[in-house]
A and B are shown apart, each in its own frame.
Chain A
Amino acid sequence: MREQILSIIEKNSRIDLHELAVILGMEEADVVNEMEQMEKEGIICGYHTLIDWEKTSVEKVNALIEVRVTPQRGKGFDSIAERIYKYPEVHAVYLISGGYDLLVSLEGKTLKEVSNFVSDKLSTLETVISTATHFILKKYKDHGTVLDKKQSDERMQVTP
């Protein structure tokens, strides 16, 4: 039941709860309870909106930064990750297997702002060994959604 609720609201968090209950064949009160419970348990962490900022007049610059760090005794990567994710301009931080340790997703207003953050804030952290910054030029698909998808129904209107 949880899985079904999650898979629907992951795609459409604005769905009407009554409707959600109907399409899952559940009682509305049960759906509401289950969702509140999952919020408490931290399974549902938020109800965000996917925005294609490119289509607005707001200028934004996104970058992905590979960071190599020295893990700290007793704390591993967690405390350095925390140092990094506390910056509000940091959108996401992932611990990565392979050639580097942390992947940091960053959002700034200008190229300069992002590069300043990397050179002033990130690189100067004691445990950071090196960084490599990749600016995002275009987003094609984000959170499983194709951003420029044309909605059209290719089917004939009436078929047997």
Chain B
Amino acid sequence: MRNPLSKTIVEIKPSGIRKYFDIVSEMNDPDVISLGVGEPDFETPWHIRDEGIYSLEKGRTFYTANAGLLELREEINRYLNRRFALNYDPKDGILVTVGGSEAIDIALRAMVDPGDEVIIPQPSYVSYEPCAVLAGAKPVIIELKNENQFRLTAAELEAAVTDKTKVLILPFPNNPTGAIMERKDLEEIAKVIEKHDLFVLSDEIYAELCYTEKHISIANIPGMWERTILINGFSKSYAMTGWRLGYACGPKQIIEQMYKIHQFCIMCAPTTSQYAAIDALKNGDADVQMMRDSYNQRRRYLVNAFQEMGLECFEPFGAFYIFPCVKQFGMTSDEFASRLLHEEKLAVVPGNAFGDSGEGFLRISYAYSLEKLKVAIERLRRFVERLQPK
């Protein structure tokens, strides 16, 4: 029998997160506390769930338009306008997808040909690189630096560009580092983008979770809207991960090609989720605010706790992750995480699961109640004190 498999897919490494998930779940120890989760701890606000239930009661159990309910796309545009001063045409500039993940995949497939290069700043979400490979592109990694607070600089971008570069993935606010890009940072890289005629896939799924100032999209920078596919969704801002609902916005020329892939591969995003999402956008601003305040309190708590225990860490301004450096202990991320898990029963994710430049760091999620964080941080403190006797 011939080999049934595609060489491309076989060569793609399984996610480093998956490996760590297996280690934690094999322990099967009820005393293990995990700070390894990349989704909100809040349940979806009740009024949103109620709309989902109501749509089922009304028998709205059919496909929707491929691009998503028009009413939802209109609400998405209103929301982006209200929150981030962005405008997209609900008719042909917005596509409702199965989570932000689908949008990443189809945006890349719509924009690259074999041989094109896609620039991926890392540490970052685990799916950009495999999606670029599956789209036939060559991923080019930029290793973001702790001393830049893991922001992308114009010099780093300039150095990574070749005459084959087509797309830059811009993952801010960032998972796993919690880094953000401020307006001046975006303006700097926009010059490079324009100079080399690049396109941007801006993954702004954590846009609502910015703690110092309001999130700014690269599409807000003059000249960038035309070059940007903006990806956002409901998972993080409205605590709706399980509903699998995201969206992509951009110029008609790109969205209509993404629409084709979406139409053939997906048909449409889940109908129940779309009805619930309309309510989220119409009536969910207060929930978003409440969750943001709550994450921000936990963020301050952790920054303070790390300072007290002498764990080196830049202050993250976005998402719900903090990314401390453990190089001072002379261990790799894997060693540190593994010993922390076995000795103190605390699970965190090694930074290198998000790219080689995450080596020496840990991703700690604060999508947990303060009560849980306190217990977890006590365990981390004990561990760190054992490593550096006073």
Per the 8 Å Cβ criterion, residues 111-160 of A in contact with B are 153, 155-160
Known: A22-B304, A23-B370. A157 touches B34 (CB 8 A): yes
B358 cross-chain contacts in A, Cβ below 8 A: none
Q: Are A156 and B300 in contact (CB under 8 A)?
A: no
* Additional 13 contacts, C-beta under 8 A, given A158-B21, A158-B25: A19-B301, A22-B301, A23-B370, A24-B297, A24-B300, A155-B39, A157-B24, A157-B32, A157-B36, A157-B37, A158-B36, A160-B15, A160-B175
A157 cross-chain contacts in B, Cβ below 8 A: 21, 24-25, 32, 34, 36-37, 347
- A42 in the interface, Cβ–Cβ < 8 Å? no
Per the 8 Å Cβ criterion, residues 1-53 of A in contact with B are 4, 8, 19, 22-25
Q: Are B298 and A156 in contact (CB under 8 A)?
A: no
CA distance A157 to B39 in the complex (A): 10
A4 cross-chain contacts in B, Cβ below 8 A: 293
Q: Are B41 and A153 in contact (CB under 8 A)?
A: yes
Q: What range describes how many residues of A lie at the interface?
A: 10 to 19
Question: A-B pairs with the 8 shortest C-beta distances?
Answer: A23-B297, A158-B36, A158-B21, A157-B34, A159-B38, A160-B17, A22-B304, A160-B126
A24 cross-chain contacts in B, Cβ below 8 A: 297, 300
- B79 in the interface, Cβ–Cβ < 8 Å? no
Question: Among B20, B25, B127, B297, which residue has the most Cβ atoms of chain A within 10 A?
Answer: B297
A159 cross-chain contacts in B, Cβ below 8 A: 17, 21, 36-39
Q: List 29 A-B contacts (CB under 8 A).
A: A19-B301, A22-B300, A22-B301, A22-B304, A23-B297, A23-B298, A23-B301, A24-B300, A25-B300, A153-B41, A155-B39, A155-B41, A157-B21, A157-B24, A157-B37, A157-B347, A158-B17, A158-B20, A158-B24, A158-B34, A158-B37, A159-B36, A159-B37, A160-B17, A160-B38, A160-B126, A160-B127, A160-B175, A160-B353
User: Which residue of chain A has the shortest Cβ distance to B27 in the bound complex?
Assistant: A157
CA distance A131 to B20 in the complex (A): 65
- State how many angstroms separate the Cβ of A51 from the closest Cβ of chain B: 19
B304 cross-chain contacts in A, Cβ below 8 A: 22
B-side residues, CB < 8 A to A, are 15, 17, 20-21, 24-25, 32, 34, 36-39, 41, 125-127, 175, 293, 297-298, 300-301, 304, 347, 349, 353, 370
Q: Are B297 and A156 in contact (CB under 8 A)?
A: no
Per the 8 Å Cβ criterion, residues 33-76 of A in contact with B are none
A160 cross-chain contacts in B, Cβ below 8 A: 15, 17, 38, 125-127, 175, 353
Question: Among B20, B36, B175, which residue has the most Cβ atoms of chain A within 10 A?
Answer: B36
CA distance A24 to B370 in the complex (A): 13
Question: Among A19, A25, A156, A158, which residue has the most Cβ atoms of chain B within 10 A?
Answer: A158
B353 cross-chain contacts in A, Cβ below 8 A: 160
- State how many angstroms separate the Cβ of A86 from the closest Cβ of chain B: 38
User: Which residue of chain A has the shortest Cβ distance to B290 in the bound complex?
Assistant: A7
CA distance A94 to B298 in the complex (A): 37
CA distance A24 to B298 in the complex (A): 9
- State how many angstroms separate the Cβ of B223 from the closest Cβ of chain A: 32
User: Which residue of chain A has the shortest Cβ distance to B301 in the bound complex?
Assistant: A23
B24 cross-chain contacts in A, Cβ below 8 A: 157-158
CA distance A156 to B347 in the complex (A): 12
- State how many angstroms separate the Cβ of A22 from the closest Cβ of chain B: 5
User: Among the listed A8, A23, A156, which residue makes an inter-chain contact with B37, where contact means beta carbons less than 8 Å apart?
Assistant: A156
- State how many angstroms separate the Cβ of A4 from the closest Cβ of chain B: 8
CA distance A8 to B297 in the complex (A): 10
A19 cross-chain contacts in B, Cβ below 8 A: 301
B349 cross-chain contacts in A, Cβ below 8 A: 158
- State how many angstroms separate the Cβ of A31 from the closest Cβ of chain B: 13
- State how many angstroms separate the Cβ of B211 from the closest Cβ of chain A: 10
CA distance A18 to B152 in the complex (A): 36
CA distance A24 to B304 in the complex (A): 11
A22 cross-chain contacts in B, Cβ below 8 A: 300-301, 304
- State how many angstroms separate the Cβ of A7 from the closest Cβ of chain B: 8
CA distance A153 to B367 in the complex (A): 11
A8 cross-chain contacts in B, Cβ below 8 A: 297
